[in-house]
A and B are shown apart, each in its own frame.
Chain A
Amino acid sequence: MPKMSGAQALLESLERQNVDTIFGILGGAILPVYDALYDNKKIRHILARHEQCAAHEAEGYARASGRVGVCMATSGPGATNLVTGIANAYMDSSPIIALTGQIPTCGVNSSYMIGRDAFQEADILGITTAITKYNYQPQTVLEIPQMVTNAFHIATTGRPGPVLIDLPKNVQTNIAEVEFTDKHNIRSYRLPQPPDLTKISQAAELLATAERPMLLVGGGVILADASNEIVKMSDLLMAPVATTFMGKGAFPESHPLSLGCIGMHGNPAANRIIGEADVLLAIGTRLSDRATTNLDTFAEGAKKIQIDIDAAEINKNVEVDLAIISDAKVSMEMLLTAISEKLKKGKGKAWTTRVKEVKEQLSPMLKEAPRGMTPKALLSELRKLLPASGIITTEVGQNQMWSALYMQSLQPRTFISSGGLGTMGFGFPAAIGAKVARPDSIVVDIAGDGSFIMSEQELACSVTEDIPVIVMVLNNSVLGMVAQWQRTLYSRRYKAINLGKSPDFVKLAEAYGAQGIRVASIDEFKKAIKTAMTSKVTTVIDVPIGSETDVVPFVPPGCGLPEQRGDY
């Protein structure tokens, strides 16, 4: 057995999990790992400029690629700065591993030990218990290989999520004869059994005999790589497909039966049709408040079937008639076979005709784009210029909801946004992470001015680490979404929403060594995107838009999905 330090054992264990990148910032308590990285040839370290962004970068990497994203920080403030990023990954079920340095468990100087409030000590295990799928702290070097194997197993299987490993400094430096293992050994962690055949059969019967079946697809479908099965199911049942915000990209939005996203700022066609369906198949979605709005009227005419890998999601938010606890891909394959056997003749055309009619009447994409620099016109142009494999990330707020409404997603893993936690500042670092995972894809962060400045310092990271992405700042000089709420729900009593004209985004980009372009027309915007797509450095495009442009339509709090309001 090889003799090595805990830090070396960690890196060797990460390599065995095919880790090729770590996003991180160093500090005293994690220095031994960085010292081991000095000799490492396989793992690329990307120096973030804030630990929160390191975690978002790891998540962007994970969501663009389907692999595990890894971030690293020192103890104390380094670790606590990761917290928002970890919470974001937890809410959106993204597999990331967070590595943190920690004060030693023992040593010569007893005041520099865990539990004595030493310099840069924080109880990161306690702090992250509620926002990680699991967390670990090895007490000896020998525990490290098994812990890393188990951590990756937990992060990637079942419902994925973040796992944190807190590394006391003496465990990083101690030397031991280390044995590596690729076999996980967590007896208390059990994955779902294959789906219950009776339930598959019952679901197949309901769907095969439905007159107005509809599919509602969440982020779980992307995680389970089940997009093809969804397309097949839609074709087989002639069923329209809506996605949740997190499911965007799981079903090609160019498909004639695509309804786009449901929800508070969803596509009105999706919000209307869900109220007319007689059987609703929800796959890989927790049916969150933003997707369902008023629970009493949510898909009230439909028998509801829910497929989820997490048993705790069944009946948590919405009571369903039939539940299948399973991986989405496995159960969809079984359902496809079972339905094909039951479906004697093709479905009638009445339902698809109705879907087409509602789409023509309500879908924003089928209405003519208003002239000028409107979000819809801008995003429609961006869609035309961006290849189908191009990756969109978004910030949070109006920019995000406009992206959901107007930026069609054609492939899974090409739309990456902070859905559950709603973290402003997520999009730019996520874009950097996505670009590292898929360097051949063009990556565009659709940003707002308010969100972008929350992680603008990562321009330094993208420039120095040679990770060119495009940031398109929809610049309305206000915190737009809260301004919209104050405008519509608080009688225009605007408070604390004004951002003024600061900063100058072109100068800001240039200060970091990136490219800055300000555009004043759609034509200039198209030209800027084309320039940015071939640029070797990150480009920030400042796109001024009206400060009173609303995201419409909108389901006011307390109302049901079909009660959307606002001209659009």
Chain B
Amino acid sequence: MESGKTKIISVLVENKPGVLHSIANLFRRRNFNIESITVGATQQQDIARMTITVNADEKTLDQVVKQVAKQIDVLKVEELESGNFVMREIALIKVEVTDSKTRSDVINFVKVFRSRIIDISPDSLTVEITGGPDKINAFLNLMKTFGVLELARTGITALARGAKSIKIDD
């Protein structure tokens, strides 16, 4: 696939078995790359939101949106326009801390990045950081200098800005 930019599409789907399979299958079949995919509830119990991050050029993205929209269980697909949405990701990072200097350095960075320490052991700190991928990447790069023992990232979830909302009528 040609390299392009990271794009985020927000997809509202019927909240029922098999839907994630059919969307994931579609990406594989059409040779689209998923960078991350998050699935969760919406304000309507029978509808789930998938937030899919793809790396694609304009032509490929156009195909992604159309092919996803074509899936029977998809109610709505939107490409989130740059600058016009809010997005967050959570990362849990377990950092190696073997001496008190490292420990206080990590704690300082945690303060600067407005992140939180959620677990402490004699040789490690586990940090929870929430933000956009850029912020998380910057923090992660700093932590790598101390030694990252484990990392878990949720992938991006996002919503368009403003009062506009998508409501699906029965």
Asked whether, in the complex, the Cβ of A189 is within 8 Å of the Cβ of B72, the reply is yes
- Contact of B110 with A by CB under 8 A: no
Contacts of B67 in A (CB 8 A): 312
A186 contact from B21, B62, B72, Cβ within 8 A: B72
Asked whether, in the complex, the Cβ of B25 is within 8 Å of the Cβ of A315, the reply is no
Q: Once bound together, how far apart are the Cα atoms of A312 and B169, in whole Å?
A: 25
Asked whether, in the complex, the Cβ of A188 is within 8 Å of the Cβ of B66, the reply is no
Contacts of A134 in B (CB 8 A): 72
Asked whether, in the complex, the Cβ of B59 is within 8 Å of the Cβ of A188, the reply is no
A133 contact from B14, B66, B72, Cβ within 8 A: B72
Contacts of A311 in B (CB 8 A): 66, 69-70
Q: Once bound together, how far apart are the Cα atoms of A311 and B74, in whole Å?
A: 15
Contacts of B69 in A (CB 8 A): 311-312
Asked whether, in the complex, the Cβ of A316 is within 8 Å of the Cβ of B18, the reply is no
- Contact of B101 with A by CB under 8 A: no
CB closest residue in chain A, given B14 = A188
Q: Scan A169-199; emit 1 where CB is below 8 A from any B CB, else 0.
A: 0000000000000000011110000000000
Q: Scan B102-121; emit 1 where CB is below 8 A from any A CB, else 0.
A: 00000000000000000000
Contacts of A189 in B (CB 8 A): 72
Q: Give the one of A125, A186, A312 with max B CB within 10 A.
A: A312
Asked whether, in the complex, the Cβ of B72 is within 8 Å of the Cβ of A129, the reply is no
Q: Once bound together, how far apart are the Cα atoms of A130 and B23, in whole Å?
A: 10
Contacts of B62 in A (CB 8 A): 315
Identify which of residues 94-151 in chain A touch chain B, using a CB-to-CB cut-off of 8 Å.
Answer: 125-126, 129-130, 133-134
Asked whether, in the complex, the Cβ of A154 is within 8 Å of the Cβ of B72, the reply is yes
A188 contact from B26, B29, B74, Cβ within 8 A: B74
Q: Once bound together, how far apart are the Cα atoms of A243 and B169, in whole Å?
A: 41
- Contact of B168 with A by CB under 8 A: yes
- Contact of A542 with B by CB under 8 A: no
CB closest residue in chain A, given B13 = A188
A312 contact from B13, B14, B59, B63, Cβ within 8 A: B63
Q: Once bound together, how far apart are the Cα atoms of A154 and B73, in whole Å?
A: 12
CB closest residue in chain A, given B69 = A311
Q: Once bound together, how far apart are the Cα atoms of A133 and B67, in whole Å?
A: 12
* Distance to closest chain B CB from A131 (angstroms): 9
Tally of chain A residues near chain B (CB < 8 A): 17
- Contact of B170 with A by CB under 8 A: yes
B73 contact from A188, A310, A315, A316, Cβ within 8 A: A188
Q: Scan A312-325; emit 1 where CB is below 8 A from any B CB, else 0.
A: 10111000000000
Identify which of residues 17-74 in chain B touch chain A, using a CB-to-CB cut-off of 8 Å.
Answer: 18, 21-22, 25-26, 29, 59, 62-63, 66-67, 69-70, 72-74
Q: Scan B1-23; emit 1 where CB is below 8 A from any A CB, else 0.
A: 00000000000011000100110
Q: Scan A509-528; emit 1 where CB is below 8 A from any B CB, else 0.
A: 00000000000000000000
- Contact of B75 with A by CB under 8 A: yes
Number of residue pairs spanning A and B whose beta carbons lie under 8 angstroms apart: 38
Contacts of A310 in B (CB 8 A): 70
* Distance to closest chain B CB from A106 (angstroms): 16
CB closest residue in chain A, given B25 = A129
Asked whether, in the complex, the Cβ of A316 is within 8 Å of the Cβ of B72, the reply is no
Q: Once bound together, how far apart are the Cα atoms of A129 and B20, in whole Å?
A: 11
Q: Once bound together, how far apart are the Cα atoms of A125 and B22, in whole Å?
A: 10
B170 contact from A126, A133, A187, A314, Cβ within 8 A: A187
Asked whether, in the complex, the Cβ of B66 is within 8 Å of the Cβ of A129, the reply is no
Contacts of A129 in B (CB 8 A): 18, 21-22, 25
Q: Once bound together, how far apart are the Cα atoms of A311 and B73, in whole Å?
A: 16
* Distance to closest chain A CB from B49 (angstroms): 14
CB closest residue in chain B, given A150 = B72
Q: Once bound together, how far apart are the Cα atoms of A134 and B74, in whole Å?
A: 12
Contacts of B18 in A (CB 8 A): 125, 129
Asked whether, in the complex, the Cβ of A312 is within 8 Å of the Cβ of B70, the reply is yes
* Distance to closest chain B CB from A93 (angstroms): 13
Identify which of residues 431-486 in chain A touch chain B, using a CB-to-CB cut-off of 8 Å.
Answer: none
Asked whether, in the complex, the Cβ of A312 is within 8 Å of the Cβ of B66, the reply is yes
Contacts of B73 in A (CB 8 A): 188
Contacts of A126 in B (CB 8 A): 21
The 4 closest A-B CB pairs, nearest first, are A312-B66, A188-B75, A134-B72, A130-B29
B: which residues have CB within 8 A of A? Answer: 13-14, 18, 21-22, 25-26, 29, 59, 62-63, 66-67, 69-70, 72-75, 168-170
Q: Kindly list 5 other residue pairs between chains A and B, CB separation below 8 angstroms, not including A129-B18, A186-B72.
A: A125-B18, A130-B25, A188-B14, A188-B74, A312-B67
A: which residues have CB within 8 A of B? Answer: 125-126, 129-130, 133-134, 154, 186-189, 310-312, 314-316
18 pairs, CB–CB < 8 Å, chain A vs chain B:
A129-B18, A129-B25, A130-B29, A154-B72, A187-B75, A188-B14, A188-B72, A188-B73, A188-B74, A189-B72, A311-B66, A312-B63, A312-B67, A312-B69, A314-B66, A315-B59, A315-B63, A316-B63
